[in-house]
Amino acid sequence: MASGFQRRKIAGVFDAMDVDGDGFLQEADFIALAKRWAGTGRPRMAAVMLGWWPVLLAASDLDRDGKVTLDEVLRVVDGLGEMPEAVVGTATAMFEAVDEDGDGSISVGEYRRLIETWSGRPVDTDEVFPLLDLDGDGHLSAEEFTRLWTEFWSGDDPDAPGTWVFGRF
């Protein structure tokens, strides 16, 4: 069962994805997220959003009502420690979509655009990015991002750098 800490951090992501604020994730939310990403000129990220919906629905929607609750997402998150390949796969897809210029790293600006587009509002990421930049080189490599992504989705350590991959909560 997810800890209170895990619930808080996952709830922040859930709330950002629940575009209409009705307390459920539905296909319409993912379409709205994809449109938000497409509006930034990032069709790869829009495609990732649209691709996640059927996967999330199949894995989470236990009552098959076409909606996903936070508790349903948390049940899936509970099992991610046993599915590292799924976590790495989503990290890889996300990294490739966020790396706008294709240089093999995520810059400070690319990270800011990720968080702002995800949340739908301006966000100051200057304080968070250095926590994520594990080697201090000013960029997130694919390896760093995968570690951070895994810490966020599978971890329960408030001091782990990956706790902040989606920004402060």
User: What residue ranges do the domains of the chain occupy?
Assistant: 1-78, 88-154
Backbone angles phi, psi at 103, to 5 degrees: -90, 5
Tokens of 85: 């390949």
* Identity at 93, one-letter amino acid code: A
Architecture field, domain 88-154: Orthogonal Bundle (1.10)
Q: Comparing 31-35, 124-128, 165-169, which segment has the lowest mean pLDDT? A: 165-169
Note whether 40 and 109 are within 8 A (CB): no
In this prediction, residue 17 carries a pLDDT of: 93
88-154: same fold as 1-78? yes
The secondary structure of 43-107 as a DSSP string is HHHHHHHHHHHHHHHHHH-TT-SS-B-HHHHHHHHHTGGG-HHHHHHHHHHHHHHH-TT-SSEEE
Reported as half-sphere exposure (CB side, CA atoms, 13 A), residue 17 has a value of 22
Please report which helix (H) or strand (E) contains residue 141, including its range.
strand 139-141
Q: State the chain's mean pLDDT as an integer.
A: 92
DSSP state of 42: -
In percent, the amount of the chain with pLDDT more than 70 equals: 100
Architecture field, domain 1-78: Orthogonal Bundle (1.10)
pTM of the model: 0.89
**pLDDT band for position 117 (50/70/90)?**
confident
